[in-house]
Structure 1
């Protein structure tokens, strides 16, 4: 078994799986089971919560793969050949990543399965080289793409469900910012999807956004079915095919492959290496970043951005705007620490705590004036 930082646990042997199950593990949330023959573990796994589990290249007893998928697990086939173009020199589109109605057969699903499957064998030099070359190509393509655009980032939680008031707020924020800037997000579901959607419709009328939000609310989450989540987004894009489209960027990672990329980013820079992706996403947002309510990932992004601003000269500091006073002072009190970090530094005048997305958009607009 290989431990990975945070909520991800990768299990590559039946011995390790049996040990953990014997210790009483019931909710297998965030687990990745890679290359295991699970035919003799059907009964014990049937009694566990596998709703957020990834099975990559595993062998199942008849009907078990479908049963776990129906619960919300991600079941991916083994992939031996490199599914991505290691010499790629352009960003992705959603249609490229989702090139099949079934997620497990899409380029995105196959790339995620391959990135996990190579781990079960120990990634060989060819696999490592392919990933490195791919990410370098994406990096160069993103540098070229962002060179003529002024980007503003929107960060927030991946678990935010369609139909929620905060999801609507994130979409409104994307729409407000997208009128003047190119909006960039982490490219995933939740607040990221909402912001990309709103930014995409920045030049459309409000009725188009309301229509899209209403359609999406019928499939609130990518759990239990990624396919249904994708299909609802495709329906929105089909219904709004005639409305003006504004460019918007997503920067997701196959490290969190169980969090699928959203379809509303018009350009997608998808990386295998999450650390590289995180640094680049913050780096390209020269117009500032708005931080919506989120959990550990959003907190990490706040202080990663704060570290850059802490040591920057004043002319290189972009606004940092935290939205939802109660969330950032009580639920996850990042604001007091951010204030203390900024005190007496040039960045102090560039950090903001607000309650509404309208306030956040106004601050970012003023910073660009």
Structure 2
């Protein structure tokens, strides 16, 4: 099989397909979820030996021909609310398609959650296989999107409401980190996660844009009782201030009762929460800021501390915990983290600060210490 360096062997849209066939055969290529129904003549004339077609609609004669060449064809799966072979990350527009006309319950995101709830306990191996294929495709797309990009994670409670000081602080944190040239990554849900993604979205705009957006969003403080109203308020902000800054959200249908937020411009949504949690933290190469949270945030702190402790991801990634009282008295994760770090290479890579405004400077200090060795 011919070797194609990097990801040049993956074809994820029609333009890449046309470019590839213009240069010769498709031997060894992997074509992901590209509609080839209008490329029958090209497929009939092109050698596709050892190629793999993942969920690519094509005419029957084209399917027969590429199979005769020796290609593997995984046909599209009918009647699914998601594409298990997708080659690209989700966008807010894709997950919330139909929101304005039919409400959240009719969107691909809600339909995906409904399918997950129906199939996750019935023991159907076909459904579990589809979930696994989907999540692997999402991980591949996420790796491609974040290659050679400094990523900083922002973790925190999902219950932080719009219109609160905590939400405002998280949004300003996201903006500061994005303006420093870092890609903000969150768990992709509501609360502190939405706020950090909002801040990154606001980064290219004047400072007063974020203040105005926070005021508008504060009129719909939570996704309860209406996800439709909550998400619509976010899209209204995006419409008023288009061309926002990039960031990543990594939510899960495991917690599908919590919708993804519309300010993460690229969304890696998973079915398997364990895969999502580990993948999110593993990709935070520039460090992680932990805002006040509950059980989920505590889990993320120690999920991130474990590979740092064992140095299983190379250099320890900086960790900044925000709100001294929260992490030393209310949920005393900081003393335990200090105990783990003592005498290890991760010890100079952790910090505790009182306010969210102090977090960017603390992260920068830790990153500088990591770079200096």
Q: TM-score, normalised by structure 1?
A: 0.76
Q: Is the 8 A contact 1:314 1:347 kept in 2?
A: no
SS class of match (1:208): helix
Deviation track 1:120-173 (CA, whole Å, cap 9, x = no partner) reads 6x1422211211111110010011111031100000000000000000000010
Is the aligned partner of 1:305 residue 2:301? no
Larger gyration radius, structure 1 or structure 2: 2
Deviation track 1:296-315 (CA, whole Å, cap 9, x = no partner) reads 00000001101111111796
Within 5 Å, give how 1:1-369 maps onto structure 2: 81-101=79-99, 102-119=103-120, 122-179=122-179, 180-241=181-242, 244-312=243-311, 316-369=315-368
Q: Is the 8 A contact 1:310 1:345 kept in 2?
A: yes
- Deviation, 1:319, is 0.8
- Deviation, 1:366, is 3.0
Match of residue 27 from structure 2: none
Mapped to 2, the partners of 1:313 and 1:226 lie a distance apart of 40
- Deviation, 1:365, is 2.3
- Deviation, 1:238, is 1.0
How many pairs are equivalent?
Answer: 287
SS class of match (1:352): strand
> Unpaired segments of 5 or more residues in structure 2?
1-77, 369-373
Aligned CA distance change for structure 1 residues 347 and 368 (closer, same or farther; 3 Å): closer
Mapped to 2, the partners of 1:297 and 1:107 lie a distance apart of 26
Match of residue 20 from structure 2: none
Q: Is the 8 A contact 2:246 2:266 kept in 1?
A: yes
Mapped to 2, the partners of 1:155 and 1:233 lie a distance apart of 20
Aligned CA distance change for structure 1 residues 124 and 158 (closer, same or farther; 3 Å): same
Aligned CA distance change for structure 1 residues 315 and 111 (closer, same or farther; 3 Å): closer
Q: Is the 8 A contact 1:173 1:198 kept in 2?
A: yes
SS class of match (2:346): helix
Q: Is the 8 A contact 1:82 1:127 kept in 2?
A: no
Q: Is the 8 A contact 2:249 2:267 kept in 1?
A: yes
Match of residue 74 from structure 1: none
Mapped to 1, the partners of 2:165 and 2:158 lie a distance apart of 15
Mapped to 1, the partners of 2:88 and 2:265 lie a distance apart of 13
Q: Is the 8 A contact 2:155 2:193 kept in 1?
A: yes
Q: Is the 8 A contact 2:169 2:357 kept in 1?
A: no
- Deviation, 1:81, is 3.0
- Deviation, 1:119, is 3.6
Q: Is the 8 A contact 2:253 2:269 kept in 1?
A: yes
Q: TM-score, normalised by structure 2?
A: 0.75
SS class of match (2:154): strand
Q: Is the 8 A contact 1:314 1:346 kept in 2?
A: no
SS class of match (1:346): coil
- Deviation, 1:295, is 0.2
SS class of match (1:316): coil
Q: Is the 8 A contact 2:287 2:367 kept in 1?
A: no
Mapped to 1, the partners of 2:325 and 2:248 lie a distance apart of 29
SS class of match (1:134): helix
Deviation track 1:326-360 (CA, whole Å, cap 9, x = no partner) reads 11011111111111111111111111000122221
What RMSD in Å do the two structures reach over aligned CA positions? Answer: 1.4
> Unpaired segments of 5 or more residues in structure 1?
1-79
